[in-house]
Chain A
Amino acid sequence: MKRAWQITCFVFIGFSIFWMLVSFQYPYHDRLGPGPGFFPFWLSLVTGALSLALLIQTTRSMSTTEGSAILPPDRPAMIRVAVNLIALVIGMAVFEPLGFRLTLLLFLLFLPFGLGIRKWWAIVIFAVAGSFGVFHVFYYWLKVPLPIGLLGI
């Protein structure tokens, strides 16, 4: 856990430096007063300083065993987390080309199966209700605009 906190502090220090460098592109001051670069500059400076302070504090005081581990506790847990993330990323990539119904149909077929369900009829009912059913309710009844894919579905 100590290592994870240290890495996070380093990430925030890097992020603050980047944010500060970008802030230089905007005027710090203009004829009316503080410009668009004023607030981001000070925010970056203070964030960097606090991250450094926390890094020092963590390095000096936190024990290496304190708190829980940053990674999932076991391999099955790691797989479950990964399956969800992969499904989300792929779903996002094909969301507009395939449209809401097809994307969600595949998403809801894949995820329960990936998580260990083997009752095909249950997965299919769930996926059809979650994709075509939800689309019908939101698109036609609630008038929420949702994408229709290249296949017209």
Chain B
Amino acid sequence: METVQYWIQGFSVATMPMNLMFAFIGCVLGTLIGVLPGLGPAAGTAILIPITFNLDPIGGIIMLASIYYGAMYGGTITSVLVNVPGEAASVITCLDGYQMARQGRAGPALGVAAIGSFIGGTFATVALMVVSLPLASFALRFGPPEIFALLLVGLSLVTGLSGRSLLAALIMTLFGLMLAMMGMDPVRGAPRYTFGIPPLYDGVGFIPVVMGLFGVGEILLSMEAPVIDIIKTKFTDLFPNRKEWRVSAGAIGRGTFIGFFLGLIPGIGAVIPTFVAYVVEKKVSKHPEKFGTGVIEGVASPETANNAYANASMIPLLTLGIPGSPTLAVLMGAFIIHGLTPGPFLFKERPDVVWGLIASLYLGNVILLILNLPLVGVWAKLLEIRYEFLYPGILLFCILGAYSLNQSVFDIGVMVTFGVLGYLFRKLDWPLAPTVLALILGPMMERALRTSLEMSGGDLGIFLHRPISAVLLIIAVIVLASPAVRMLGKKAGKDDG
């Protein structure tokens, strides 16, 4: 009964005209970010944080969340039309989506992706409404040892699933944790690793780091081969034919479940659900040999899984305070900027924010469907913007976003430095997602570890004596030691965001 009251409260917040407008603007901007090559959802969301500075926290968070899942859909358009994924989760869509476009069926490919995304996203949001309150109540029982073990599981998953070398991924995770040590010691409050530089007293800015790694770094890499070849097509028929509907229905159903359940695992990232959905679809298909030649199931299932994942991954963020991907880490950063801390306490302290956000996800899915089906042609036109204007334009917003956080040129310097690092690490094929998640989770992790050791008088056994933390630690070890997890990570290839 209590849950139903919260749902009603959430919808009353989300349907306020201003919040509806913020969701709409967020969906438009998100789709734009997804469409534009060289700008992924993590950097795109980070860049747009300043827009929300003077909004009330609910409106700001609703807009940023809409940007996040709007970008998830926008990435599909470039995958289908130019064979370049707008964001990493749409990589797999290139295989069949681009082939469909070459056969003159770009419309049905984008149509089924929009409808599948709507169904997957809506299902995940309904499930989010049902499970979030019990899960948050359970998480309230967690003490510092459980929190440390949980954060360790999250980081282990991100690390274990990243890239081709486990050692490189571990180093990148530790690099993020080391950067997180800069600033005020989270337990004693004394400055540490500040080297006499006043801006470092607040630590390395998380948002400039994300903009650098995922925004500037991506632009520099894109500059190497910037010209893209767009398939010109008329979007007269956006709906699949009857036969295509028959095969797509099952694919959408399977994609929904895969995306939702994988979205519950903190740290899994957006790429793996789409790969798993594609592989499963190929396995159950009567004609697996046709995958990669332009079959509609090859678009429907991963695109559905993508959006089901995006909404389901809000569950670990909202209930446990663990972001599952760099984009969600940015969203977590935005919560913090607005004076809110995601996690179980938020459900008690600001139910209006949490339930308003959850309800807005539902409305956002409707907005995206209405927005995207008729406007596919308009989005496709954007791909014709010349890179000589597009990339400087993106850099302009990176500069603006980095500066306006603290009105500090130092933050622009941080962004440029991490842009160069992001460019080099991409060239090296070292994963970036672990660094970003470690940077935002580092202070929490250190606080939980040190408080646990203070509680036990320095005895590390405290993590094994408490059943929840012991189970979580075992999971973390299994994740890092499991060849199956690493194989999945290698398949997924690149980072989310």
Contacts and interface: CB of A to CB of B under 8 A. Distances in A.
Interface of A: 1, 4-5, 8, 12, 15-16, 19, 22, 26, 30, 32-36, 38-40, 43-44, 46-47, 50-51, 53-54, 57, 67-70, 72-73, 77, 80-81, 84-85, 87-89, 91-92, 95-96, 100, 104, 107-108, 111-112, 115-117, 122, 126, 130, 134, 138, 142-147
19 contacts: A1-B428, A4-B428, A5-B428, A22-B193, A33-B454, A34-B458, A36-B185, A40-B193, A43-B178, A43-B181, A80-B223, A88-B416, A95-B403, A95-B412, A96-B409, A111-B392, A138-B50, A142-B50, A142-B53
Interface string B397-429: 001100110010100110010011001100111
Contacts of B412: 91-92, 95
Contacts of A130: 392-393, 396
Given A50-B167, A92-B416, A36 B400 contact: no
B383 to A, nearest CB: 18
Interface of B is mostly: helix
Given A68-B427, A80-B223, 10 more contacts: A1-B428, A15-B175, A16-B178, A40-B193, A47-B171, A87-B392, A88-B399, A89-B416, A107-B396, A143-B54
Contacts of B50: 138, 142, 144
B53 A84 contact: no
Interface stretch (B76-84, B255-263, B336-344, B445-453): B445-453
B219 A84 contact: yes
Interface in B343-401: 386-389, 391-393, 395-396, 399-400
A65 to B, nearest CB: 14
Interface of B: 50-51, 53-54, 165, 167-168, 170-171, 174-175, 177-178, 181, 185, 187-188, 190, 192-193, 216, 219-220, 223-226, 386-389, 391-393, 395-396, 399-400, 403-404, 407, 409, 412-413, 416, 419-420, 423-424, 427-430, 446, 449-450, 453-454, 457-458
A84 B223 contact: yes
Contacts, number: 173
A32 B429 CA distance: 42
Contacts of A89: 416
Contact of A47 (B174, B193, B446): B174
A89 to B, nearest CB: 7
Given A40-B178, A138-B404, A81 B223 contact: yes
B420 A85 contact: yes
